[in-house]
Amino acid sequence: MDSTADPKGKRPLYQEDGLAYARAAAAAASATAADEAEAKPKPKPSSSSEEAKPEPEAEEMPPLVLVAEDGVEVRISRPAARMSHMLRLLMEDSCADGPIPAPNVHSDILDLVVQYCEKHGPYYDPEASERARNPFPPFPVELTPTVSSIKPVTYVDPDPHGLKDWDKDFISLDNSTLFEVILVKRILNLLDLSSTPQDLLDLGTTMVADMMRGKKPEEIREIFEIENDYTPEQEAELRKENAWAFED
Amino acid sequence: MELCSVASIMSLGYLAIQRTHLCSLVFRVLPKLLGFTPSSLKKLCKDVDPPLTETIVGTLPELPQDVLMDIFATLEMPDFIRVGAVCRSWHSAYTSLRSLGQYKLWLCLLYTSESAGDSSACLYSLTERRSYKLTLPEPPIRSRCLIGSSHGWLVTVDERSEMHLLNPFTCEQIALPSVTTLEQVKPIFDEYGVLHKYELSWLTGRTTHYSSPLIFALDKLRDELHYKVFVFPDTSTGSYIVVLIHNPGHQISFARLGDDKWTWLPHHYLYCDCIYKDGLLYGVSITGDLHTFDLSGPTVAMNTIISIHRDDDCEYAYIVQSPSGDLLLIWRLFEDFNLEPDHGETVFWNTTKFRIYEVEAAGSKLKEINCLRDHVLFLGHNESLCLSAEEYPSLKANHVYFTDDNMLWTLGFKNNHRDMGILNLADNSKEELLSSQICSNFPAPIWITPDLRNMNLASGAAYKMVQ
């Protein structure tokens, strides 16, 4: 949980050779060392602390400007932008100073995603989340859990910032918006194979999964507005396998 | 995977050339590589084709395969199967997950009932609190005993006392080596040369003097001989090892799929439960001993890990591996029983308590555990399971879900009320699983973890597939 470590040491669980190359190239050609230090994600308070104060240095850095497909500019503060692995990469490479185009994304959707990141950003610690997500990593162990990160069974996540309730309200979106949000966040998370459990992507996909439970295929098609591209004969054939699951 | 190639393209090609344009390139190129293109959005707009700069009306964007697979992997099996029938792209995600075996583990209770018919089994889902009905291949399931359930295989004993592996979902059946290949069983033929009885001896290998063997009708041998069967994946051969605990004296015999006979492990007896871990077969006996057997060599090497001599024998023992890899020994106590009832009353036995011990990693020591924390146990004729309640929110942490695997019920108490339910380890209170009106007592209900995949017979193994 030592977030003052060099960002190159804070790796996602699965190493991408391409990513290593990208970082090396960025570091070699970066403008000034001071610039890099300032653009680094600032150490954030641990999730168990009561107050999270926005870091003074980060506040001084201007927010990133994302430009949606309809030309509307959506601003996202640097701490919030850290929730996207992609944007983190751009910030570290000092590519994030000018407007960042986000084609295929409507400003309304982008706005929602930014809202989520702004809310969660200050409390985001990628390493703590990874351990919470996978307390029993596959052998050989690749993450050394610190004592503080292994939670006792009676541990109740304190959620001091009321994030869970906020999330519940936030994710009550209509299906179309929900899907868009999932897709956008997925792109923003790109290359971050260790995405955090409470991340907006997981929040969205969990929401979608809940909508599928206990429903028949016809009902699911209606909810998700999906066209049935099977002929009745093909569908009957499909249902013959594991017919038990389709009966009332 | 897409992501790997994207990363390498991003780093090698684009970075090298145009780092300053990285931002816009990333956002423009990657969505196309991932298949989320303006055209895929347009695809779903049949009648209306609005310019994309306006808010999307009516139809939802198509979710790409990897997002679908992430979602489907969290669904329980019935839901998982149903979403596979929605449309072609969803079916594709479903079949990918299924062939990888990456769908969620589903635990349900398999039972039979008179109303469902002789060849049907019912599956009770703990989450949905409802039952599904499955049609199973011949011979009728209600004529068989259920003595094992591991990795999606049910182990049955038919009316000729022969054992089969049965996958209720794929309807595959595999015959296990004949019961006559066990050391203790001899076939008896009538004057026409047809098998019509079995002779069961008392051979254990522990002494040289035995009582005379007994003779049983074909379907009666299974009341005496069989106790439990386990099916363990054997990673070294890519096949399965099948382990049978049988009488006399709860001894162990085993076979690999494809063998034509059972291999007897003499001199050791009184086993209640087994697991297979790290190439070793662990057996826990009713007397409190934990033994390991190394089945890999030409002769089987046995080792004693723990030797505690217990005097009480109204306790059954189980051994299980927790998700974190620890070995747990569990004792099941039947403090509430009456085996010699007065006239008009029935025999009964009820589980009242469980005692749980952790086997210390260094071996040979047991540490009693009072609370399972967030784990859940599933015990019975099935291969004992320990799950994390966090991954299965419908299960209650620190509870034991148990079915009746008491050998008493085979000794003439076939239609007895089943000792099964959910026990809360915190206060030893019990909850009923299913009303006895719904589920038949014979064959005894059993936990099952379904496997939707057909067994890969490409290796040309010699086992007999039963049609």
Say if the Cβ atoms of B134 and A104 lie within 8 Å.
no
The letter for the amino acid at A178 is L
Share above pLDDT 70 across residues of chain A, in percent, rounded to a whole number: 53
Of A101, A182, A191, the CB nearest to B24: A101
How confident is the model at residue B457, as a pLDDT? 41
- Please report which confidence band the pLDDT of residue A3 belongs to, taking 50, 70 and 90 as the band edges: very low
Handedness of CA B33, B39, B41, B43 (dihedral sign): negative
Beta sheet of B366-369, edge-to-edge order: B315-321, B327-333, B353-359, B366-369
Degrees to nearest 5, angle at CA B304 with B303 and B306? 155
Q: Hey, which residues does B229 pair with through a beta bridge?
A: B244
Beta strands in A12-91 (DSSP E): 64-68, 73-76
| pLDDT (average), residues A8-36 | 37
User: How do residues A172-217 score in pLDDT, each as one tens digit?
Assistant: 777 777 777 777 776 666 544 444 434 667 777 887 888 888 889 9
Query: B87 CB near a chain A CB, below 8 Å?
Result: yes
How confident is the model at residue A164, as a pLDDT? 74
**CA-nearest residue of chain A to B14?**
A22
Beta strands in B218-334 (DSSP E): 226-234, 239-246, 251-256, 263-265, 271-277, 280-285, 289-294, 301-307, 315-321, 327-333
Phi/psi for B267 (5° steps) reads: 75, -10
Angstrom distance (rounded) from CA B160 to CA B442:
17
Distant-in-sequence, close-in-space partners of B344: CB < 8 Å, separation ≥ 6: none
B89 within 8 A of B40, measured Cβ to Cβ: no
Measured between beta carbons, the chain A residues lying within 8 angstroms of B60 are: 175-176, 179, 224-226
How confident is the model at residue A189, as a pLDDT? 63
Q: State the nearest Cα–Cα gap between A229 and chain B, in angstroms.
A: 6
Using only the alpha carbons of chain B, give its radius of gyration.
27
Question: What rounded mean pLDDT belongs to chain A?
Answer: 64
B97 within 8 A of B72, measured Cβ to Cβ: yes
**CA-nearest residue of chain B to A209?**
B71
Best CA proximity match to B379, nearest among B353, B361, B358: B353
Best CA proximity match to B106, nearest among B166, B151, B156, B164: B151
Angstrom distance (rounded) from CA B457 to CA B257:
11
Measured between beta carbons, the chain A residues lying within 8 angstroms of B103 are: none
Angstrom distance (rounded) from CA B458 to CA A188:
43
Strand B375-379, strand B399-402: pairing? parallel
Angstrom distance (rounded) from CA A224 to CA A205:
13
How confident is the model at residue A104, as a pLDDT? 72
3-state class (DSSP) for residue B189: strand
Question: What rounded mean pLDDT belongs to chain B?
Answer: 80
| DSSP designation for B119 | T
User: How do residues A41-99 score in pLDDT, each as one tens digit?
Assistant: 434 333 333 334 444 444 467 888 888 888 888 888 888 887 777 777 777 777 777 78
Q: Is B91 exposed, middle or buried (0-12, 13-18, 19+ CB in 10 A)?
A: middle
User: How do residues B314-371 score in pLDDT, each as one tens digit?
Assistant: 578 999 998 888 889 999 988 888 878 888 888 888 888 898 888 886 667 788 888 8
Burial B105-143 (b: 16+ CB within 10 A, else e): ebbbbbbbbeebeebbbbbbbbbeeebbebebbebebbb
- If one compares A197 and A114, the residue with the highest pLDDT of the two is A114
Q: Hey, what are B417's tokens?
A: 């009320």
Of B44, B58, B86, the CB nearest to A221: B86
B188 within 8 A of B111, measured Cβ to Cβ: no
How confident is the model at residue B60, as a pLDDT? 67
Measured between beta carbons, the chain A residues lying within 8 angstroms of B82 are: 212, 215-217, 220, 245-246
Please spell the DSSP secondary structure of B356-419, one letter per residue.
Answer: EEEEPTTSS-EEEES--TTEEEEESSBPPEEEETTT-TTSPTTEEEE----GGGGTT-TTSPP-
Distant-in-sequence, close-in-space partners of A6: CB < 8 Å, separation ≥ 6: none
Distant-in-sequence, close-in-space partners of A116: CB < 8 Å, separation ≥ 6: A83, A170, A181, A185, A200
Angstrom distance (rounded) from CA B386 to CA B451:
18
**CA-nearest residue of chain A to B43?**
A227
Say if the Cβ atoms of A209 and B74 lie within 8 Å.
yes
How confident is the model at residue A187, as a pLDDT? 64
User: How do residues B365-379 score in pLDDT, each as one tens digit?
Assistant: 788 888 888 899 999
Say if the Cβ atoms of B53 and A70 lie within 8 Å.
yes
A185 within 8 A of B64, measured Cβ to Cβ: no
Q: Which of residues 280-319 of B touch A (CB under 8 A)?
A: none
How confident is the model at residue B50, as a pLDDT? 36
**CA-nearest residue of chain B to A237?**
B85
Burial A123-137 (b: 16+ CB within 10 A, else e): bbbbbbbbbbbeeee
Measured between beta carbons, the chain B residues lying within 8 angstroms of A19 are: 7, 11
Query: Would you give per-residue pLDDT tens digits along chain B (467 residues)?
Result: 333 333 333 333 333 333 334 444 444 444 444 444 444 433 333 333 333 333 333 456 778 888 889 899 989 999 999 999 999 999 999 999 998 888 888 999 999 998 989 999 999 999 888 899 999 999 999 999 999 999 999 999 999 999 999 999 999 999 999 999 999 999 999 999 999 999 999 888 888 888 889 999 999 999 889 999 999 998 777 789 999 999 888 999 999 988 999 999 988 888 999 999 888 899 998 888 889 999 887 888 888 887 776 656 557 899 999 888 888 999 998 888 887 888 888 888 888 889 888 888 666 778 888 888 889 999 999 999 999 988 888 899 999 999 988 877 655 677 777 888 999 999 999 998 887 778 888 888 999 999 888 775 433 343 444 44
Angstrom distance (rounded) from CA B162 to CA B219:
9
The percent of chain B in helix, strand and coil, each rounded to the nearest 5, is 20, 35, 50
Degrees to nearest 5, angle at CA B172 with B167 and B174? 95
Best CA proximity match to A104, nearest among B267, B26, B79, B444: B26
ipTM higher than the 0.85 cut = no
Measured between beta carbons, the chain B residues lying within 8 angstroms of A186 are: 34, 64, 67
Beta strands in chain A (DSSP E): 64-68, 73-76, 100-102
Per the omega criterion (within 30 degrees of 0), is the bond before B51 cis? Answer: no
Best CA proximity match to B6, nearest among A191, A181, A231: A191
How confident is the model at residue A7, as a pLDDT? 38
How confident is the model at residue A97, as a pLDDT? 76
| pLDDT (average), residues A110-124 | 79
Bin B358: left if φ > 0, else alpha if -120 < ψ < 50, else beta: beta
